[in-house]
Structure formats: C-alpha cells, structure tokens
Amino acid sequence: MEWAYVLVIILSIFLALFLLVGIILVVLLIRVTTQIKAVTDSARRTAESIEGMVGNAGRFAGPELLARSLFKQVKKFKKKEK
C-alpha cells in the first residue's frame, strides 16, 4: 500500500504543476489577445481616418480639378484659334 500512496502523491504533484502551468499560459494568452485587439483597433481607426480624408479630398478636389482642366482646354483652344 505504501507504493500506491507514493504514486498518488507523485501524480498529484505533477497534476498540480500542469494546472499551474496551464493557468499561467491562459493568463499570458489573455494578455496577448488584448494586445492584439488594441493593435487591430488602432489600425481600424487609422484606416477609417484615412478613408474619411480621402473621401473628403475626392469630394472637394474632384470638381476643382475638373474645372481647372476644362479652363485649360478652353484657353488652349482659344490660343489655337487666334
């Protein structure tokens, strides 16, 4: 019976160690996933900001550029006629 008790004690020690290592790994995994979430949130905010700036620039610069090129073409056409 003594060997059986020794074996149970050894197995319980190993199980306690594996449980402790598992808890530590879960805590580390939670930390890593929160850091990944923070990075992806920052990247999402940056992409949305850039998308908004490009949309605004396209909305305001599009008609202006079109009008400029139209005026340039009209000026070139008038110069050719003279």
* Helix, strand, coil abundance in the chain, percent, nearest 5: 100, 0, 0
Per-residue model confidence as pLDDT tens digits over 13-71: 999 999 999 999 999 999 999 999 999 999 999 988 888 877 776 666 666 777 777 78
Distances (CA, A) of 14 to 19, 27, 68: 9, 20, 78
pLDDT score recorded for residue 50:
85
Is the model more confident about 75 or about 30?
30
